[in-house]
Structure 1
Amino acid sequence: MAFYFKTHWRPFLACLAIISFVAVIIGLTDALAWSLVLYFLGISSFLFLLLFVYDYYTKRHLYRFLSGETLTMLPGDSSPISQQIQSQFEILRKKEEKQFTLMTKRREQQITFMNLWVHQMKTPLSVLEMMAQNHQLSPTAVLTETQRLKNGLNIALNEARLSTGFQADFLLKQLSLKEVVTSAINTQKSTFIQRNIYPVLTISDDLIVISDEKWLAFMIEQVLTNSLKYSHSGEKIEITSSETNETVVLSITDYGLGIPPSDLPRIKRAFFTGENGRKFGEATGMGLYLVNQVAEGLAIDFQIQSTPSLGTKVTFTFQKIKK
């Protein structure tokens, strides 16, 4: 009641002033006797008082909440403004709960990923240590293990960037698709040599796409990493492109182990390693998940087709921007 009076005493006094002014004018014009004028003034003031009491009663829970007497808004208020505030309050509360749930899930995902990532990074370090102890530090082997470390660090860095807001960390511009793919292949050069696998690049020199160079290179590198990991020695990885009036399609095809049909619908999920990942024991289950997140952010259609023992084909479809 105190908070309501604090916020409504000015309107109440303004109403009394207006009524009094009208009553005085009527009295001075001798239209009514002063006794009737005072009667009119008293009845009008009483009716306005009842109006304010009724207004408080219909909004009493709202004003109790606003004054801090209670921490919840009860649905007893029947006024439209109270109902609207109650509705908006519920919407904001549910939104905050959803945001909190997403943040909690994201934090748990980061902790799980870091635990897996640290475990995975121990392998190349152990290999390097063992080669050093046995005096077997060949340049190719060292480059292969350091490349594994770089791939792991790259995934960890980009996972952190995605968690802090992908939209603030990309720049769209015209890119030569062949140059981006060539750069991605060069980052995996030592692994290609070590695994005796050869890239076959068939992309037109003048093929242009609109995308972010850094994130596009990350997606291609991650797909190449998987193709190299699950391909047999002596095979090839084909990188080709095609073009229509509306789209540009980049295809990366390997002829390795392939993906079991039961795993295919789930390979874009976080931490899903699948049958091949469990066999090789080197998968964090975050690579394709991050690729899918980046592809969605850049409006690139990311699809995977695979047949066990025959290989896997990954396609990125870019929409052309018309002049």
Structure 2
Amino acid sequence: MHFYLKTHWRLFLACIGIVSFVAIIIGLTDALDWRLSLYFLGLSTFLFFVLFFYDYYTKRHLYRFLSGETTAMLYGDRSPISQQIQKQFDTLRRKEEKHLLLLNKRREQQITFMNLWVHQMKTPLSVLEMMAQNKELSPTAVLTETQRIKNGLTIALNEARLSSGFQSDFILMQLPLTQVVSTAINTQKTAFIQRNIYPSLLIPEHLTVISDEKWLAFMIEQILTNSLKYSYPKGKIELSATETKEQIFLHITDFGIGIPASDLPRVKQAFFTGENGRKFGEATGMGLYLVHQVATGLSIDLKITSTPGVGTTVTLVFQKINT
């Protein structure tokens, strides 16, 4: 009640003031006897008391909540204002709960990823340490292990960037597709040499796409890392592109062990390693997941087809901008 009086006393006094003014004017004009004017004033004041009390009674739960007398939110209050506030409050609460669940899921995902990542980074470090102890360090072996560390650091860095807000971390521009792909191949040069795999580049020079250079290069590099990992030595990885009136297709094809049909629908999920990942023992299950997340953010369609024992093709589909 105290909070209600605190917020409505000006309105109550204004109503009484208006009625009093009307009663005085009527009395001065001799339209009514002064006793009738006072009666009119008293009756009006009483009716205003009843009106304000009824208003308070119908909104009592709201004002008790606003004054801090209770933490219960409006249940049983039938006034339209209270019901609308309750509805809005419930909507905001559900949104907040959904947001908190998403934050918790991301936090758990980051913790799981970091545990896997730290465990995997021990392997190249252990190899380098063992080679140093045995005095068997060779440039090729060192480059191979440092490349594995660099790939792991790249995934960890980009996973952190995606979690902190991808929308604020990209710049769209027109990019020559051949140049971006060539740069990505060059970053994986050591791995190509180590596995004696030949990259075949079949992309027309005139093709350009609208994308972010850094994130597009990351996607291609990660796809190449997977292709190299699961290709046969002395094999080939083919990078080609085709176009239609509305779309440009970048195909990255390896001729390796392929992906089992049962695993194919799940390869874009976080931490899914599948049958091949368990066999090779080097997969975090985050590579294609991050590629899928980036592709979604850049409005690039990601398609994966594979035949066990024959190979895998990953296709990035870009929409053309008609000018």
What TM-score, normalized by structure 2, do the two folds share? 0.99
Q: Deviations over 1:77-106 (max 9, x none)?
A: 111110000000011111111111111111
Q: Does 1:257 align with 2:254?
A: no
Return the offset for 1:52: 0.7
Tell me the C-alpha RMSD between the 2 structures.
0.8
1:10-159 equivalences under 5 Å are 10-159=10-159
1:110-259 equivalences under 5 Å are 110-259=110-259
CA distance in 2, matches of 1:256, 1:58: 74
Alpha carbons 2:74, 2:83 under 8 Å: kept: no
CA distance in 1, matches of 2:11, 2:74: 26
CA distance in 2, matches of 1:15, 1:212: 65
CA distance in 2, matches of 1:237, 1:15: 85
Give the aligned partner of residue 286 of structure 1: 286
Letter in 1 for 2:253: T
What TM-score, normalized by structure 1, do the two folds share? 0.99
| 128-137 vs 259-268, greater mean Cα deviation | 128-137
Letter in 2 for 1:2: H
Long gaps (5+) in structure 2 = none
Letter in 2 for 1:233: P
Letter in 2 for 1:147: Q
SS in structure 1 of the partner of residue 76 of structure 2: coil
CA distance in 1, matches of 2:209, 2:51: 68
Identity %: 75
SS in structure 1 of the partner of residue 136 of structure 2: coil
CA distance in 2, matches of 1:226, 1:147: 14
Long gaps (5+) in structure 1 = none
Letter in 2 for 1:73: M
Q: Deviations over 1:159-217 (max 9, x none)?
A: 00011000111111111111110000000000000001010001111211000000000
CA distance in 2, matches of 1:141, 1:251: 30
SS in structure 2 of the partner of residue 30 of structure 1: coil
Count of residue correspondences: 323
Alpha carbons 2:240, 2:252 under 8 Å: kept: yes
Alpha carbons 2:74, 2:82 under 8 Å: kept: no
CA distance in 2, matches of 1:32, 1:194: 110
SS in structure 1 of the partner of residue 112 of structure 2: helix
Return the offset for 1:76: 1.0
Write out the 4+ residue segments of structure 1 that deviate beyond 3 Å after TM superposition: none
